[in-house]
C-alpha cells in the first residue's frame, strides 16, 4: 500500500456517537449559540472535511516525516513539501470557520462537531494540524483581550490566518511552570519588554503566515514566586501597531529547532526573547492573571492531544484490519496438523482476532469518551460559558474528565499501537506501512501538556480532593443510573455485572486513597497512575455500554446488512471490554490497597 493513502477514517462511528448516542440534534444543535446549526449541516460539514483531509492532509503525511524542516539560523523555519499547499487549501475552503462562533464569522459548530472534525484532521496529519492553533488564539483574544488588543489582533488573525503558539516551558523549569525565569519589565499601559528563553514551543516559527502570535507566560518585576506570579502576554513575531497594521520585527526569535523521534513536520522550537532586539508584549486583558488565562489554552491543548491519540489508534486499527483481511499466512489453527490445509487470511487466527478486537474496543471506547466529554463542553457553552453559574456543574465535570482524555488516552494508545504493528508482523516495522510513523508521532502525546503522572496528580488533588469528591460522586451516580437501567436487559447482563463490580472497585479505590493520603502524599505518587487508569476504564466501559444499549435497539429494526454488522460490532466491543478490561480494575484496587512506601526508604545508590 501507499502511505500517502494511510488515513482511514470512521465517520460511521463518529455519526453513531454524535447523532444516535449523544443525540446532539436535541441536546446541542439548535440551542443557544448553536441555534443556526442543524444535524444535516453538521453531517455535511464533517463529510466534506473528511474528503478534504484525505485529499490534502493525508497526502503530505509522509513528506512531513521524511523531509527535514528548514532553519536558517536567523529565526526562520520553512515547512516540508505539501504543508504550505495544504494550509492554503484549508483556509481557502473555509474549514477554519467550523469551530469559530458566528460572531467571529464562523459556522458556530458546538464542541462535539468541532472535536469530531479535529479527529479527522489529527488522524490524517497531526503535525500539520498543529499549525492551525492561531485559529483558537483568536477565540482567546476575543474572550480575554482588551478592546485595543482586539483591534490590533482579532481581525488580523481571522482574515490573514496568522499562526499562534502557547509559550510556557523553559529549559531549567520543564514541567514546573512556576519555576520559570522569563522576566517582563513594564513600559507603559499594557506594554512590557520580555527577556528569557523558552523551550519545546510547538510551531514557534513557520513560513506560511505573515505573522505569528505567541501567548507567553512571564514574571513581571516585583511579582511573587510560583505560578501565581506569572502573567500572560501577547508577543507577536512582527509588532502590530494600534491600528492593526504590521510593524517592525519583534525580538522573539527561534534560536533552535529540535530534532525529534517523531512528528517531525511540526517545528518544535527554542524561542529566545529580548536578546538581539527588544521583545515587546501586551499584558493580556490588562490583568495579571496569567496561569488562569493560559489554562484556557492548556485545556484546549490537552483535549487536542487526547483526541489526536484516539484518532491515531483508530486509523492504525483500520489499517491493521485491512491487512488482516488480505494477508494469507498459515493454516487454520484447528487444521494446523494437516500440511495440505489451505492458507487462510490472518484474521482467521485467534490471536489476531484478539488483537483486532482489543484495538477496536479501545478505539471506539476512546472516541466515545472524547465525544461525550465534548458534549459536556457543549452544555458549558450553551449555559453561558465558564464564568456562568448555570454552567458550573458541567464545567467541573469537564475539568474532572480532561485528565482521562489526555492522560489515559495518550498512555493507552502508546501501548496499543504496538499491537497494531503486531498484526502486520515484520511488515509493520518498515516504512511501506504507516504504523511505524504512527508509533513515533504518537509517543509525544504522553509527554505533551503535562506527562501522564502530572495528569494523575491533577485528577486526584485538583479535580477530586479540592471539591471533596462532589463532582466524582455525580459522575459515579450517572454510571450507577445506567447500571440500574440495565436490570432485566438479558442481552447486556454480562456488561451490567462487569460494570457493577468496576463501579464498586473505583469507589473503594478513591475512598482508600483518601485514607492513604492522610498518611503520606507519597501514596499518590506511587498509585496516582493506577487511580487515573481505573477511573478512565470505568468511564470508557460505561460509555461503551451506553452505546451498546443504543445499538441493541437499533439492531432490532435495522434492515441493511451493513447496519446490522455495524451494530453487532458495537455490541462486540462493549462485551469484549466488559470481559477483558473492566475486571482489571479489581486487580488495580488490590495493588493500590496493598501499596507501601518501601521505595522511598531505599538508598539512591541501590537503584
- What are the catalytic residues? 449
The strand pairing partners of 249, in sequence order, are: 238
For residues 374 and 111, is the Cβ–Cβ distance under 8 A? yes
The secondary structure element, H or E, covering residue 254 is strand 252-257
φ/ψ region of 283 (left if φ > 0, alpha if ψ in -120 to 50, else beta) reads: beta
Q: How many CA atoms lie within 13 A of 219 on its CB side?
A: 18
CA distance 86 to 92: 10
- Listed in sequence order, the DSSP H helices in 327-349 are none
DSSP element (H, E) containing 562: helix 561-580
For 459, what's the count of Cα atoms within 13 Å in the CB-facing half-sphere? 30
Q: How many CB atoms lie within 10 A of CB 390?
A: 13
Q: Which residues contact 421 (CB under 8 A, 6 or more apart)?
A: 428, 429, 435, 436, 439
Do 406 and 302 touch, CB atoms closer than 8 A?
yes
DSSP 467: T
Element (H, E) at 192: strand 191-202
DSSP bridge partners of 163: 212
E strand or H helix that includes residue 539:
helix 522-557
- Do 438 and 394 touch, CB atoms closer than 8 A? no
Closest alpha carbon to 423 in 319, 312, 317, 320: 320
Q: Report which DSSP code applies to 323.
A: H
Distance in angstroms (rounded) separating the CA atoms of residues 535 and 514: 15
Furthest-apart CA atoms within the chain: distance in Å: 86
Question: 10 in helix, strand or coil?
Answer: coil
Q: Burial level of 453, CB count in 10 A (0-12/13-18/19+)?
A: middle
Q: Which residue has the cell 538581539?
A: 276
What is the SS3 assignment for 597? coil
Nearest residue to 409 (alpha-carbon basis) of 313, 310, 534, 316: 310
* Kind and range of the H or E run holding 164: strand 163-167
Q: Residue 268 corresponds to which cell in the numbers above?
A: 518544535
Amino acid at each position: 500500500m501507499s502511505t500517502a493513502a494511510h488515513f482511514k477514517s470512521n465517520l460511521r462511528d463518529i455519526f453513531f456517537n454524535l447523532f444516535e448516542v449523544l443525540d446532539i440534534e436535541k441536546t446541542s444543535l439548535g440551542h443557544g449559540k448553536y441555534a443556526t446549526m442543524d444535524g444535516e449541516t453538521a453531517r455535511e460539514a464533517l463529510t466534506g472535511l473528511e474528503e478534504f483531509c484525505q485529499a490534502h492532509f493525508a497526502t503530505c503525511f509522509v513528506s512531513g516525516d521524511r523531509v527535514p524542516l528548514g532553519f536558517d539560523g536567523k529565526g526562520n523555519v520553512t515547512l516540508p513539501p505539501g504543508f504550505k499547499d495544504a494550509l492554503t487549501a484549508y483556509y481557502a475552503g473555509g474549514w477554519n470557520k467550523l469551530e469559530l462562533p458566528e460572531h467571529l464569522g464562523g459556522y458556530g459548530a458546538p464542541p462535539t462537531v468541532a472535536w469530531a472534525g479535529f479527529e479527522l484532521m489529527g488522524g490524517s496529519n497531526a503535525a500539520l494540524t498543529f499549525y492551525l492553533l492561531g485559529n483558537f488564539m483568536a477565540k482567546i483574544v476575543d474572550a480575554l483581550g482588551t478592546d485595543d488588543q482586539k483591534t490590533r489582533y482579532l481581525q488580523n488573525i481571522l482574515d490573514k490566518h496568522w499562526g499562534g503558539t502557547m509559550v510556557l516551558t523553559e529549559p531549567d523549569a520543564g514541567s514546573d511552570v512556576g519555576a520559570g525565569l522569563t522576566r517582563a519589565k513594564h513600559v507603559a499601559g499594557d506594554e512590557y519588554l520580555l527577556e528569557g528563553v523558552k523551550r519545546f514551543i510547538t510551531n514557534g516559527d513557520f513560513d506560511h503566515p505573515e505573522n505569528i502570535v505567541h501567548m507567553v507566560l512571564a514574571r513581571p518585576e516585583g511579582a511573587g514566586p510560583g505560578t501565581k506570579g506569572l502573567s500572560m502576554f501577547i508577543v507577536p513575531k512582527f509588532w502590530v501597531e494600534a491600528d492593526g497594521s504590521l510593524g517592525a520585527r519583534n525580538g522573539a526569535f527561534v534560536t533552535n529547532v529540535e530534532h525529534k523521534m517523531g512528528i517531525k513536520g511540526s517545528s518544535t522550537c527554542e524561542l529566545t526573547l529580548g536578546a538581539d532586539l527588544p521583545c515587546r508584549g501586551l499584558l493580556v486583558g490588562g490583568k495579571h492573571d496569567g496561569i488562569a488565562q493560559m489554562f484556557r489554552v492548556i485545556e484546549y491543548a490537552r483535549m487536542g492531544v487526547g483526541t489526536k491519540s484516539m484518532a491515531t489508534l483508530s486509523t492504525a486499527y483500520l489499517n491493521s484490519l485491512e491487512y488482516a483481511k488480505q494477508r494469507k499466512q498459515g493454516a487454520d489453527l484447528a487444521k494446523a496438523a494437516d500440511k495440505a490445509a489451505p492458507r487462510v487470511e490472518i484474521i482467521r487466527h485467534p490471536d489476531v482476532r484478539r488483537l483486532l478486537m482489543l484495538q477496536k474496543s479501545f478505539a471506539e471506547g476512546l472516541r466515545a469518551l472524547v465525544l461525550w466529554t465534548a458534549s459536556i463542553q457543549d452544555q458549558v457553552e450553551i449555559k453561558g460559558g465558564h464564568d456562568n453559574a448555570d454552567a458550573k456543574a458541567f464545567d467541573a465535570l469537564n475539568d474532572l474528565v480532561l485528565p482521562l482524555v489526555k492522560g489515559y488516552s495518550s498512555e493507552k494508545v502508546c501501548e496499543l499501537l504496538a499491537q497494531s504493528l503486531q498484526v502486520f508482523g515484520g511488515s509493520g516495522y518498515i516504512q511501506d506501512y504507516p504504523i511505524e510513523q504512527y508509533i513515533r508521532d504518537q509517543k509525544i502525546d504522553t509527554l505533551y501538556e503535562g506527562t501522564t503522572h502530572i495528569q494523575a496528580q491533577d485528577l486526584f488533588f485538583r479535580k477530586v480532593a479540592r471539591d471533596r469528591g462532589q463532582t466524582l460522586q455525580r459522575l459515579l451516580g450517572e454510571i450507577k443510573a445506567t447500571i440500574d437501567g440495565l436490570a432485566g436487559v438479558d442481552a447486556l447482563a454480562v456488561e451490567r455485572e462487569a460494570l457493577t463490580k468496576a463501579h464498586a472497585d473505583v469507589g473503594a479505590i478513591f475512598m482508600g486513597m483518601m485514607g492513604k493520603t492522610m498518611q503520606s502524599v507519597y501514596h499518590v505518587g506511587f498509585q496516582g497512575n493506577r487511580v487515573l487508569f481505573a477511573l478512565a476504564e470505568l468511564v470508557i466501559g460505561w460509555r461503551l455500554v451506553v452505546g451498546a444499549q443504543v445499538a441493541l435497539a437499533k439492531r432490532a429494526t435495522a434492515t441493511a446488512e451493513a447496519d446490522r454488522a455495524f451494530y453487532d460490532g458495537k455490541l462486540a466491543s462493549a462485551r469484549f471490554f466488559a470481559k477483558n478490561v473492566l475486571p482489571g480494575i479489581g486487580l488495580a484496587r488490590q495493588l493500590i490497597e496493598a501499596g507501601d512506601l518501601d521505595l522511598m526508604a531505599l538508598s539512591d545508590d541501590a537503584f
